Amino acid sequence: MMAELLKHPHVMKKAQQEVRDVVGNKCKVDMDDISKMDYLKCVLKETLRLHPPGVLVPRKTSACAKLGGYDIPSDTTIMVNIWAIQRDPNWWEKPEEFIPERFEDSSIDFKGEHFHFIPFGFGRRKCHGISFGVASIEYLMANLLYWFDWKLPAAEITDNLDMTELFGLSVTKKIPLHVIPTSPLSF
């Protein structure tokens, strides 16, 4: 999420402004504040759309099925490619671009009810830690955006930021992100 914010400074500025407006002059971000941060939630959803924590979800067929002209026998293990689904141009306009505004005024959620947005899986075997994970990330990012301004080291340019990912049990950036926090002058 931080890498995407650095690549898109206008999004970073908008998210920081929202967080700072909601929190005001309090000495800390409260969990109640998070519920008022609609744009931050859009940024998180868009980050999860482009960079799901897991890419392939295994499932077994419970009955014979026909899919795309193929006969799939019962008890076949299939792999659902979340990464491909969430970048499908049939579902998403400009699917390769980071556009958090696509989730403004949208009922699309990541709890597995919208099958074109399933970063935590779906059905009975979806991730049961969704609530904890999302609350943790929202709280962490709200604090990072509230307390600091962020920039890349002097030698790095946001356009050249490598977004290559390593796929394993969970997805991580291939090249770790190094950032420099600075204290905003207004605090």
Question: In whole angstroms, what is the distance from residue 55 CA to residue 118 CA?
Answer: 10
More confident residue, 63 or 128: 63
Separation in Å, CA 93 to CA 47, 104, 134: 15, 14, 25
Structural domain including 88 reads 2-182
Residue 170 has pLDDT above 90, yes or no: no
Q: In the predicted model, what is the mean pLDDT of the chain?
A: 91
Which amino acid is present at 34?
Answer: I
pTM over 0.85: yes
Residue 83 resides in a domain: yes
For the ranges 15-19, 22-26, 123-127, which has the lowest average pLDDT? 123-127
| 8-state DSSP, 110 | S
Residue 50: strand, helix, or coil: helix
Residue 51 resides in a domain: yes
Residue 187 resides in a domain: no
Pairing of strands 77-81, 180-182: unpaired
pLDDT of residue 185: 63
- CATH number, position 157: 1.10.630.10
Residue 45: strand, helix, or coil: helix
Residue 7 has pLDDT above 80, yes or no: yes
